[in-house]
Amino acid sequence: MDTFVFFAAAAIAISASILVITQRNPISSVMYLVTSFVAQVILFIKLSAAFLAMLQIIVYAGAIMVLFLFVIMLLNLRREEYGKDIKMRYKPIAVAFAIVLLLEVVVIVNGSELAHRAQASLPADFGSVKAVGVELFTHYLYPFELTSVLLIVAVLGAVVMAKRSL
């Protein structure tokens, strides 16, 4: 059952990802991207990261993807403006890079010691809201404050970029 859930989620995530890059219409792309994210949420839960799984649904599949949809609908592209979306000239390059990358992943995963090491024992509340929160506000307080600065800079940047005249 465990393995079945993993394979189902992985298959959905990978096939939805492939559909994202092969759609002509960006709106269907966004929908497949959300599907892929939700499938990855299942993998997150199986990796005992419950808080991150909820964050993934709310922030990624919710907020960021809605932002994408807003912009696509705001641009109001007509069908002929979608254009030729796949460029044949770049296909061989992409395939070559993909083969090299996948080979690298397989070689590194095979050659690593991961398979031989005993799995570390997990505390019962690993990945819960409380555990992540305690870690975030004690150990990683400084990086956490920096992320708020990053968000402010991003908001200012977006306003400056999107405004007609400052």
Partner 1 sequence: MVPIEWYLIVAGTIFTIGMIGVIIARNVMIIFMSVELMLNAANLAIVAFSRELAVMGGQIMVFVVMTVAAAEAAVGLAIILALFRVRDTDSANIDHVNLLKW
- Between residue 99 and residue 118, which ones bind partner 1 under the rule CB under 8 A? 101-102, 105-106, 109-110, 114-115
Choose which of 73, 82, 129, 145 interacts with partner 1 (CB under 8 A): 82
Contact 59, 136 (CB under 8 A): no
Establish if 73 lies at the interface with partner 1 (CB under 8 A): no
**Do the Cβ atoms of 22 and 38 come closer than 8 Å?**
no
Q: Is 12 in the site for partner 1 (CB under 8 A)?
A: no
Kindly tell me which residue out of 111, 123, 142, 165 binds partner 1, with binding defined by CB under 8 A.
Answer: 123
Q: Which of 8, 73, 129, 150 binds partner 1 (CB under 8 A)?
A: 150
Indicate whether 8 belongs to the interface with partner 1 (CB under 8 A).
no
Spatial separation of the C-alpha atoms in residues 9 and 30, rounded to whole Å = 18
Q: Centre a 10 Å sphere on the Cβ of residue 44 and count the other Cβ atoms it contains.
A: 20
Asked if 61 and 37 count as a contact pair (C-beta separation under 8 A), the reply is yes
Please select the residue that binds partner 1; options are 1, 122, 124, 166, rule is CB under 8 A: 122
